[in-house]
Structure formats: C-alpha cells, structure tokens
Chains A and B, each alone.
Chain A
Amino acid sequence: MNAIGAALALLPALGAGIMMGFATAKATEAVARQPEASGKINSILLMGLALAESTAIYAFVIALILATSV
C-alpha cells in the first residue's frame, strides 16, 4: 500500500517536467528575439526553474518518506 502511495505521490513530477519545458521554450524564444538580454533572461529562467522544480522535489521527499516508513 505504501509503495502505491509513493508512486502516486510522484505524479506532480509530470506537471513540473512539462512546465519546465514550457519555461525553457519561452526563454529560448526570448533570447532569440533579444540576444543582448540573455544574461537577465538566464537568471530569471533559473529562478523560475527552481520554483517549478520544487513541487517535484516535495513530491520526491514525500514519496521517500512513504516508501521508507513501514
């Protein structure tokens, strides 16, 4: 039962992956349009990726807690 719960808890990783892809795509577009602003775009992108990634990481931690507790 715990294993199923852990697997289900990892579902947010799907959303995080898709949305990180969207963010990177938009950032690439922005850099292509304005190459001189790439430094600023880069830092904003990293920041956004970190925030988007955190959902996946919370899911990962919860899944680990579920999987290791008997």
Chain B
Amino acid sequence: MKNMLFLGVSAALSVVCLIGYFLSKSKADSHPEDPKAKKRKKLFFIGVILMGWFFLGTVCNILLGGSKGIHVEFEMFSPRTEVFGISFAETSLIAIGVTGVILVLALWFRIFCVPKFSEDKPTKVQLVMEFAVEWIDKYTHSNVEADTGCLSSYLMALALYMVGCASAELFGLRAPTSDITVTFGMGLITFILINYYSIRKKHLSGRIKGMASPTPVVFPFRIISDIAVPVSLACRLFGNMLGGLIVMELLKGALGGYMFGVAPVAGLYFNLFHPLIQTYIFITLSLTFINEACEGEGYHKKEKKAKA
C-alpha cells in the first residue's frame, strides 16, 4: 500500500519535473541573457534525476521486496561448495576465476598488442604499460637498496591480483581478499621473500647476527616481531576488505530497493578506492620489511674489506 502511494507520488512528481525542465529549457534558449531561467533549468534537472531515482527505487522495492531493516548476514569464513567431489571455499573459486581472467588478459596483450609495439610511434596500450612497469620498477628500487632481481614483477602481479579481487565485488561476488586464508597466504609469501632476500644477501650467519644486534637479549623479541609481520599484513588487508563488505551489506539492508543508484557511488569508494590504497600499502610495507631485513653489511662486502 505504502509502495503504491510512493510509486504514484514519485511518478507524478517526475512527470511534473520533466515538463518543467522542458519548459524552462525552451525559455532559457529563447532568452539566453536571463540568469534566472538557467538556474530554474538546473533545478528542474536535479529534480528529474532525484524523482527518477525515487520512482525506479520504488519499482525495485515492489519487484524485489523492500528493505529488511538494518541487519547484516555474513560469515567470517566463506561457505564451501562441492566441485567434482572436492570441497572448495567459494572465495577460492572466485580467486581462481580472477586469476584466469588476468591470465587470459595477459595472453591477449602478449599475442595481439606487444608485437605492434614500436619505438618511434608508441601505441596507447604501450604507453600505459610502459608507465606502469616503469613506476613499479622505480618504486621497488627506491625502497629496497639490495639487488632484488624480479621482485618488481612479483609486486606487479600482486597488485593486479588484488585489484582484480576487489573488482569482483563490483559484480556482486564476495571479494577473495575478504577471506583471511587468502590474505594470510599473501602475507606468508612476503615472509618467505623477506627471509630469502636477507639470507641471500647476508647468508644465514649474517641474518642471525643482524637479529642479535646490538645485544643478544633482543633476539627472541626480533623473532616475535618477524613472525608478527605476515599476521599483521594479513589482518590489515582482511579487516579492511571485510569492513567494506559489511558497510555495503548494511547499506543494502537499510535501503532495500533504493540501493539502486546508491550502490555504484558507494561501491566506487568502498570496493575500488579502499582496495587500491590497501594494495599500495601492502606493497609499500612488503618493500619496507624486505629493506629492513637486508640492511647492514652484506656478507661479501665484509670479506672484501677483510682482504684489503
């Protein structure tokens, strides 16, 4: 009953606004110097958009059932489904899908776009790709002084994966990065990289010596803080992504059909802007931790100095 009333009122008001808009438009066209007519045209335009949103939201409400009040349904750990008799978490299936999409895109770029690259006349795709690769290369080398090999390409893949996962949420799927197992896996990779680069540069003895400096008393605390790195990275990303998810769910529950039109605006912030910042922070923190572990005199340098 209430919905029908809203439907009638919003339809009538949007028709009134539409008529007013066209009337004021013709007036503004015939009298271009009149500032009042232009203002009225603008006001009616805003009214048309608002009333149209109200009307379409009511239609959605009638078709899909209205708001259920503010209560959220979500699970900390994603539900599991069976695929070919193997139990998968839904988020890991989505993550596999995202990886597949990224792989197909990469192959497509490699086969169709890369052969067209030229030094004299760079194509648009080439410029974008060169900018991205150059930025991540420079960023890696400015943060980590040690020889990092192909660390920058790993970071690029990580960034693409995280952005892809976040944009899966725009399609109504649950973002894989809002599952703690996925984020903890990424944190573990960073943990392994920290130790790999540190041991490669300073050897195991140098790494242990670096952890025991300035006094051996700090050694157990250093171990604890090293173990805390993947946990903190995982929890940070997980908490952020889950926070966005819950806010969106709350909005959905509170607005019901009027979520129509609000979802893209709010989603742009919670599902696109926040994950981008988180990606940047994840990369920066990984690089900082790697640099911290690689600091101090390298094993080879010491040998040379002793000989000289």
Query: Which residue numbers of A lie inside 8 Å of B, CB to CB?
Result: 43, 46-47, 50, 53-54, 57-58, 60-61, 64-65, 68
Contact = CB atoms under 8 A, between A and B. Distances in A.
Interface in B231-267: 232, 235-236, 238-240, 242-243
B236 A54 contact: yes
B48 to A, nearest CB: 39
B126 interface: no
A50 B285 contact: yes
B76 A68 contact: yes
Contact of A64 (B76, B280, B281, B285): B76
Contacts of A47: 281, 284-285, 288
Contact of A57 (B235, B277, B280): B235
Give the 10 A-B residue pairs with the shortest CB-CB distance, closest first: A57-B239, A50-B281, A61-B239, A60-B239, A54-B236, A57-B236, A68-B76, A61-B235, A47-B284, A58-B235
Contacts of A64: 76, 242
B76 A65 contact: yes
The DSSP consensus for interface residues of chain A is helix
21 contacts: A46-B280, A46-B284, A47-B281, A47-B284, A47-B285, A47-B288, A50-B284, A50-B285, A54-B232, A54-B236, A57-B235, A57-B240, A57-B243, A58-B235, A58-B239, A60-B239, A61-B235, A61-B239, A64-B76, A65-B76, A68-B76
A53 B281 CA distance: 11
Contacts of B277: 46
Nearest to A65: B76
A22 B285 CA distance: 21
A54 B232 CA distance: 8
Interface residues of B, number: 16
B235 A46 contact: no
Contact of A61 (B75, B238, B285): B238
B243 A43 contact: no
A53 B277 CA distance: 12
A61 B243 CA distance: 9
Interface in B133-187: none
B112 to A, nearest CB: 36
A57 B242 CA distance: 10
A64 B235 CA distance: 12
A61 B241 CA distance: 11
A43 B284 contact: yes
